[in-house]
A and B are shown apart, each in its own frame.
Chain A
């Protein structure tokens, strides 16, 4: 980790001694960036959209390692657009997305792909492709033209499949698997890419509740145990609150609120973002808020 080295005061002092620049190791030689950008992914004043239409505007937030961030908001609020711009699938009109201080839109594509992974909303499964082959394709950014498949690739694929519990059907075609199994394969592919940051666009859509919970449990495990920064677009407000450390609420392409550990989220805010009347309950297990819609005018008024 370059940053751990840079931050140590002892190393900083050594830098002050004038030396032949050509002999210096490059990570230590880099001139101090002022003010230092925080490690992790940071979005600053981002403005993005399609064609000439601006979909998200003035969005700023930061994502740290070991934390799970959920993007929520009504349909058309710009969640997916924001995620696509963060993963440089979309060129922003303005603002910046920085990974450890470097703009992701200026990094070489393959180098970025070793640090930041994206799972888009509806990826394609080629007919008959086995789960193992699918996960293996996540190793593409680690392979060169001459070095096609290494032991490290093998180990990464196996570790990712073990973690996501997909080894049992490794040799089965992905298009023959259930929705939950298939989604786990995709997450395994993203894991095999071995990136510090993983972005996922609605990984739970079209899944039964059981599989939604399964996928989110897996993502939380990945975040905690492997110290990844995970950003996930979610549809379900309560699942987002239950699993994410940080919830970013989007409304009409702008950030309406950033909620840490469910603190400060109240029915008024939900009404403002989603346009529905809700009541707040408390999750008996986590103590975080749970929101249920006020049903019908007659009961709701009571």
Chain B
């Protein structure tokens, strides 16, 4: 059912816009592309990239959220709340600011290489930030509690955002080129950027699925999980790497988009399953659905003007976040 929902949303996504194209024409454009027809060109050359970006980013965010909620045993776990997004943005902005200067000594490293490396840079930033959040939250006598993880995530997010702003204030040009991306937006991406992000995303997803069984055991507590033969430390490191890769792939494409990773796993858990081996792939599908739907709304609500997609997911996500925060023990 979930894949059908996704297919329906994708079809609507390709059809709607400044120029509405009927579903039949969209399907025709996909399966019998005719370069002389304007509608076909719009679907395949303009909207298709954006659709793929949305699919990949949404799926990555959904899985990343499910993963973070499992690792931190925190219902509020999410790349935006736990600082991964801010870490990824900081890494990308720093690479834009300092990258060319650093790369000037190496002629092989030119502009296109920097863009292709962006998902990896973002992934490193996200993973490093998450590691920092976990380290600070684990300090103290009680160890890692859901509340401390959330607080440290929010605090360190602000810190990273401050460092990002400082760089952007000093460098107007960078700000101008990435302002929309900073707010979380699916537009303005190319197939080149997608090609860079796909392997990062797949690696993260594969790693996440490989540890799903272990995370199921860890949900019962560290003692039970060790008793079942789970290597806690290795699983946490793998989870951290997977979350970083997924978040990096998403942020490099769509900017820091919040709350998709928060809402999606909760919906899957409430409606379908708590078993992470199933929950992770379902979160991918549903995450893609949600992000595409949000982007569709962002494009059409105030047409012909566009809202930032990240603003729209926050509009849906914040009430869910508050409801969960009020309910959590």
Interface residues of A (CB under 8 A from B): 84, 87-89, 109-114, 116-126, 128-129, 133-134, 137-138, 140-141, 143, 145, 148, 189, 193
Residue from A121, A124, A141 in contact with B228 in the complex, judged by beta carbons closer than 8 Å: A141
- Among B226, B269, B270, B277, max chain A CB count under 10 A is at B226
Please tell me if the beta carbons of B220 and A126 are within 8 angstroms of each other in the complex.
yes
Alpha-carbon distance A141/B217, docked complex (angstroms): 10
Within 8 A of A (CB), among B25-82: 73
Please tell me if the beta carbons of B228 and A129 are within 8 angstroms of each other in the complex.
no
Knowing A112-B229, A124-B73, A129-B274 are in contact, say whether A145-B210 is a contact too (CB < 8 A).
Answer: yes
Q: Which residues on B sit within 8 Å (CB–CB) of A128?
A: 269-270, 274
Q: Which residues on A sit within 8 Å (CB–CB) of B217?
A: 137, 140
Q: Which residues on B sit within 8 Å (CB–CB) of A89?
A: 223, 226-227
Number of interface residues of B (CB under 8 A): 22
Q: Cβ of B231 < 8 Å from any Cβ of A?
A: yes
Please tell me if the beta carbons of B221 and A133 are within 8 angstroms of each other in the complex.
no
Residue from B73, B223, B230, B270 in contact with A123 in the complex, judged by beta carbons closer than 8 Å: B223
Residue from B73, B221, B231 in contact with A122 in the complex, judged by beta carbons closer than 8 Å: B221
Q: Which residues on A sit within 8 Å (CB–CB) of B275?
A: 133
Additional A-B contacts beyond A118-B224, A126-B274, A148-B213 (12; CB < 8 A)? A87-B226, A89-B227, A110-B229, A112-B229, A114-B229, A118-B227, A124-B221, A128-B269, A128-B274, A137-B216, A138-B228, A140-B228
Those 6 A-B pairs whose CB atoms lie nearest each other, nearest first: A113-B229, A120-B223, A118-B227, A110-B229, A124-B221, A141-B229
Main secondary structure of the interface of B (DSSP, over half): helix
Alpha-carbon distance A114/B228, docked complex (angstroms): 8
Within 8 A of A (CB), among B194-226: 210, 213-214, 216-217, 219-221, 223-224, 226
Q: Which residues on B sit within 8 Å (CB–CB) of A148?
A: 213, 277
Q: Which residues on A sit within 8 Å (CB–CB) of B221?
A: 120, 122-124
Q: Which residues on B sit within 8 Å (CB–CB) of A126?
A: 219-220, 274
Residue from A111, A119, A124, A129 in contact with B227 in the complex, judged by beta carbons closer than 8 Å: A119
Smallest CB gap from A128: residue in B = B274
A154 to chain B, nearest CB (A): 15
Q: Which residues on B sit within 8 Å (CB–CB) of A141?
A: 228-229
Smallest CB gap from A148: residue in B = B277
B146 to chain A, nearest CB (A): 11
Alpha-carbon distance A120/B220, docked complex (angstroms): 10
Please tell me if the beta carbons of B228 and A193 are within 8 angstroms of each other in the complex.
yes
Alpha-carbon distance A138/B227, docked complex (angstroms): 9
A-B pairs under 8 A by CB, number: 75
Smallest CB gap from B328: residue in A = A127
Q: Which residues on A sit within 8 Å (CB–CB) of B277?
A: 148
Please tell me if the beta carbons of B223 and A137 are within 8 angstroms of each other in the complex.
no
Alpha-carbon distance A220/B253, docked complex (angstroms): 60
Alpha-carbon distance A229/B223, docked complex (angstroms): 20
A183 to chain B, nearest CB (A): 14
- Among B210, B213, B231, max chain A CB count under 10 A is at B213
Alpha-carbon distance A46/B8, docked complex (angstroms): 63
Please tell me if the beta carbons of B73 and A113 are within 8 angstroms of each other in the complex.
no
Knowing A123-B223, A124-B221, A143-B213 are in contact, say whether A137-B228 is a contact too (CB < 8 A).
Answer: yes
Smallest CB gap from B223: residue in A = A120
Smallest CB gap from A130: residue in B = B274
Q: What are 10 inter-chain pairs, A to B, with CB distance below 8 A?
A: A87-B226, A88-B226, A89-B226, A113-B229, A126-B274, A129-B274, A140-B216, A141-B228, A189-B224, A193-B227
Q: Which residues on B sit within 8 Å (CB–CB) of A109?
A: 226, 229-231
Residue from B213, B224, B231, B274 in contact with A119 in the complex, judged by beta carbons closer than 8 Å: B224
Q: Which residues on A sit within 8 Å (CB–CB) of B214?
A: 140
Knowing A126-B274, A137-B216, A143-B213 are in contact, say whether A118-B223 is a contact too (CB < 8 A).
Answer: yes
Q: Which residues on B sit within 8 Å (CB–CB) of A113?
A: 227-229
Smallest CB gap from A201: residue in B = B223
Within 8 A of A (CB), among B151-187: none
Please tell me if the beta carbons of B230 and A140 are within 8 angstroms of each other in the complex.
yes
Smallest CB gap from A138: residue in B = B228
A111 to chain B, nearest CB (A): 8
A117 to chain B, nearest CB (A): 6
Smallest CB gap from A126: residue in B = B219
- Among B73, B213, B214, B227, max chain A CB count under 10 A is at B227
Q: Which residues on A sit within 8 Å (CB–CB) of B231?
A: 109
Contact with A along B256-274 (1 / 0, CB 8 A): 0000000000000110001
Q: Which residues on B sit within 8 Å (CB–CB) of A134?
A: 220
B92 to chain A, nearest CB (A): 34
Alpha-carbon distance A27/B205, docked complex (angstroms): 41
Knowing A129-B274, A143-B213 are in contact, say whether A137-B220 is a contact too (CB < 8 A).
Answer: yes
Please tell me if the beta carbons of A133 and B227 are within 8 angstroms of each other in the complex.
no
